[in-house]
Amino acid sequence: MLNQILLYMMGITGGLFAIVVIIYFIIRSKTNTSDMKKIRQLREGTKQHKYSKDIIYQKLYNIYTSVPLFKRYVLKIRRKLEIIHMQDEYKTRMQTSKIITKALCIIIPVTIAVILFTKSDPLLLSILLLFELFLIETLMSGMVDKYDTKILKQQVDFFAEIRHAYHEFNMVEEAIYEVSQNDELEISIQGQKIYEILISEDPEMELEKYYDVAPNSFLKEFAGISYLTREFGDRTDKDGASLYLKNLNNITQEMQMEILKRDKLDYVFQSLSVIAILPVLFMAPLKSWAISNFSFTSQFYDGKLGLMVQIGLVVLTFICYFLTRKIKDTGSIKVEERDPNKVWQIKLYKKPIIKKAMDLIIPKKNTKEHRVLTKLMKDAASKQKIEALYINKVIICFVAMIVTIVLFMFSHKIARDYVYTEPTSDYNLMGSLSDKNREEAMKVTEAQNIVINEFKGKSNVTQEEIIKYLPKVDFYKDADEGTLATAAEKIMSKLAIINSEGFKWFELLIAFIFGYLGYCSPNWMLMFQKMLRALDMENEVMEYQTIILMLMKIERVNVEMILEWLERYSNIFREPISKCVNNYEAGGWEALEELKQDITFPQLIRIVESLQAAVERIPIREAFDELDNEREYYQAKREESNEKLIKRKGMIGKVVGFAPMVVLFVGYLIVPLVLIGFTSMSESFSSIGSVNIN
């Protein structure tokens, strides 16, 4: 019977195979017709391979946009990359998908490692997984910044080719068009856009639109100089060189210095971000090593004090990691910020009840507090409204208070649970308990837990009452008086812990203190941003000098136009310069005098004084003649300024980046090991002494 079934199956299989072969030859004969051959020839070389990287990234992009968790990151990255790719949807999608995929390839192994190391500690595991949400966003931002630096390096070669093409055509738009034909380079898209602006019917209006979407200030300068040269014509300098090419060379030198600065900052900070985050990943392995080698440390690591140190270390790590990224910030791609009136804080503030409550704490206009806070927000280049700032302050305050109270309650629970679950042994300084000793110690703990449950919550319990009750427990039924006295003493100490582990009034006071610190934290962040901006002041003023050097020799350029250019490329001093531009028509010299009063940086004040001289008395070229004569000096000074900036940022970054590592080894390992070791040693020696006396 079995042989017949096998024969039937073989026959059916052979028949099916024959049918497949016949169908194959029929299809092959049809595909060999002349029409099919022509179609294959037309498709040859244009068909994308099914499994090419580009196709895979495009499919992954569709997957990422359909997953709510990834959609937020997709939109954030798109906003930055759209500036670079200038409406090229295919490249934008592919680059977005590539960045997210690379970030996931890093974050997934880290997540697996975190789960493996901290699976026994659910609280720490949940904190680390939450922390990874910030990590993945930082990784993606870093990749976008590297992509921006890549564009900047392409611009150096792009401008070099523009120089050669300009020598050939002697026309700005034709030189840009010729060099922008290389579609493989991202910078070519920008070149094509600038060419379209120059030949448009209203190039000035199109240029203003481009200023809002240009990837960096150097392309803005290039587009503006190209427009002015095409509009007013090129001139030769006193040494016979083309003014347009000289300005192009100035922009190139600025870009080269910026590239060097970014490369050096990347080198200085390349490991600091990793060092800042490592302590959180090493907490669980360090805890396991300490407990396995020094069992007495379990009372710290498994108790509420260990929990508090863990939470503090996680918070410190998060703060230091965030600050390290802020310090390293090179100011690369800047996306258009949301309208300050449309953020969720303002929508919340407009609720009638919340508005009445918030108006009680928001400083009134024309008060000293309001003026000081407004100035701080301007100095920190904060675009948010003061109402949004106070909404953040109040929310952070309440969250800090609630989290602190919850942590205190959770720590009390951990302390009580530790009393009930800690193996009760006489002493064990080195190593860990053997399985046999642990089993015996747990029997002692379980027996003592019966007594603790009987007497917990009762005040004025005496050791004699416990000694009388102990024989009722099976474990101590036949124990001698010495054993009962020792057990009663340990139970008394455990009862003291159980009865004292409740929420106390001073813990509420501590919660209020942390709430106040949370309330002040937005102001501290503004101060930190102000400090970082102060480091970049000299660098920005030197950029102003380069812009003036390019504009001062162009025909029909006046002081108002120079101020408009400075406003366009300003960051730190944008507010006072914008105010000066708005007031210029009412009186140029007076508007510049008011600008001098609004700023305190000496180098910028000298520029304003030169502009004042150019308003009424002397031409712009003569007012800034020293910039041209001392160009090499200012160039060397700019390089020295960048070196100082990198050193200052590197020094601050190292202090901030290494802080969590120092706290990990000192506060989480060495101090507990020493203090608890001495305490356990003294208790063990006392126990040994009492046994010898008996």
Comparing 37-41, 182-186, 680-684, the range with the smallest average pLDDT is 37-41
590: confidence class by pLDDT, cuts 50, 70, 90: confident
Q: Which of 332, 337, 77 is nearest to 212 (CA)?
A: 337
Q: Which of 400, 444, 394 is nearest to 420 (CA)?
A: 444
Percentage, residues of the chain above pLDDT 90: 0
Q: Which of 260, 270, 269, 226 is nearest to 153 (CA)?
A: 260
Q: Which of 523, 275, 166 is nearest to 375 (CA)?
A: 523
Mean pLDDT, residues 581-600 taken together = 83
- The per-residue pLDDT for 576 is 83
- The per-residue pLDDT for 336 is 46
Query: What is the Cα–Cα distance from 338 to 330, expressed in whole angstroms?
Result: 21
> Looking at the predicted structure, is the pLDDT value of residue 421 above 60?
yes
Which two tokens mark 515?
Answer: 């709430």
Query: What is the Cα–Cα distance from 103 to 135, expressed in whole angstroms?
Result: 9
593-613: pLDDT as tens digits: 888 887 777 788 888 888 888
- The per-residue pLDDT for 681 is 63
Query: What is the Cα–Cα distance from 619 to 552, expressed in whole angstroms?
Result: 9
> Looking at the predicted structure, is the pLDDT value of residue 118 above 80?
no
Is 111:298 a contact under the CB 8 Å cutoff?
no
Q: Which residues contact 603 (CB under 8 A, 6 or more apart)?
A: 538, 541, 542
- The per-residue pLDDT for 17 is 53
Looking up tokens 């036949």 gives 478
357-391: pLDDT as tens digits: 888 888 888 788 888 888 888 777 677 888 888 88
Q: What value does the mean pLDDT of the chain take?
A: 76
For residue 42, the one-letter residue type is: L
> Looking at the predicted structure, is the pLDDT value of residue 234 above 60?
yes
Backbone φ and ψ of 236, nearest 5°: -100, 140
> Looking at the predicted structure, is the pLDDT value of residue 1 above 60?
no
22: confidence class by pLDDT, cuts 50, 70, 90: low
Mean pLDDT, residues 410-423 taken together = 76
Neighbouring CB atoms inside 10 A of 494's CB total: 23
236: confidence class by pLDDT, cuts 50, 70, 90: confident
Query: What is the Cα–Cα distance from 317 to 34, expressed in whole angstroms?
Result: 70
Residue 191 vs residue 27, higher pLDDT = 191
- The per-residue pLDDT for 686 is 56
Mean pLDDT, residues 479-496 taken together = 75
Mean pLDDT, residues 256-284 taken together = 79
For residue 364, the one-letter residue type is: K
Query: What is the Cα–Cα distance from 257 to 546, expressed in whole angstroms?
Result: 13
Between CA 212 and CA 219, with CA 213 as vertex, the angle to 5 degrees is: 95
Q: Which of 569, 572, 592, 571 is nearest to 582 (CA)?
A: 592
With H, G, I as helix, E, B as strand and everything else as coil, classify residue 171: coil
Cα 332–chain centre separation: 14
- The per-residue pLDDT for 42 is 43
642-672: pLDDT as tens digits: 787 788 888 888 888 888 888 888 888 887 7
Mean pLDDT, residues 303-326 taken together = 80
Distances (CA, A) of 693 to 479, 487, 499, 688, 690: 19, 18, 32, 9, 5
138: confidence class by pLDDT, cuts 50, 70, 90: confident
Burial class (CB in 10 A: 0-12, 13-18, 19+), 197: buried
Which two tokens mark 430?
Answer: 């080195």
The DSSP result for 203-252, as a single string, is HHHHHHHHHHH-SSHHHHHHHHHHHHHHHH---B-TTS-BHHHHHHHHHH
CA dihedral 101, 106, 111, 116 (to 10 degrees): 130
Q: Which of 390, 392, 394, 396 is nearest to 364 (CA)?
A: 390
689: confidence class by pLDDT, cuts 50, 70, 90: low
Highest mean pLDDT among 123-127, 156-160, 168-172, 544-548: 156-160
Which two tokens mark 105?
Answer: 């390839």
- How far does the chain reach from its first CA to its final CA, in angstroms? 89
Query: What is the Cα–Cα distance from 604 to 41, expressed in whole angstroms?
Result: 66
Q: Which residues contact 367 (CB under 8 A, 6 or more apart)?
A: none
For residue 575, the one-letter residue type is: E
Burial class (CB in 10 A: 0-12, 13-18, 19+), 329: middle
Looking up tokens 């360090």 gives 286
Is 455:339 a contact under the CB 8 Å cutoff?
no
Backbone φ and ψ of 294, nearest 5°: -135, 90
Query: What is the Cα–Cα distance from 163 to 165, expressed in whole angstroms?
Result: 6
> Looking at the predicted structure, is the pLDDT value of residue 405 above 70?
yes
Q: Which residues contact 341 (CB under 8 A, 6 or more apart)?
A: 385
Percentage, residues of the chain above pLDDT 70: 81
Query: What is the Cα–Cα distance from 67 to 330, expressed in whole angstroms?
Result: 31
518-530: pLDDT as tens digits: 888 888 888 887 7
> Looking at the predicted structure, is the pLDDT value of residue 315 above 70?
yes
Residue 187 vs residue 534, higher pLDDT = 187
State the maximum Cα–Cα separation within the chain, in Å, rounded to a whole number: 117
> Looking at the predicted structure, is the pLDDT value of residue 431 above 60?
no
What b-and-e string marks burial along 114-151, b requiring 16 or more CB atoms within 10 Å of the CB? Answer: beebbeebeebbebbeebbeebbbbbbbbbbbebbbeb
Which two tokens mark 39?
Answer: 């179609």
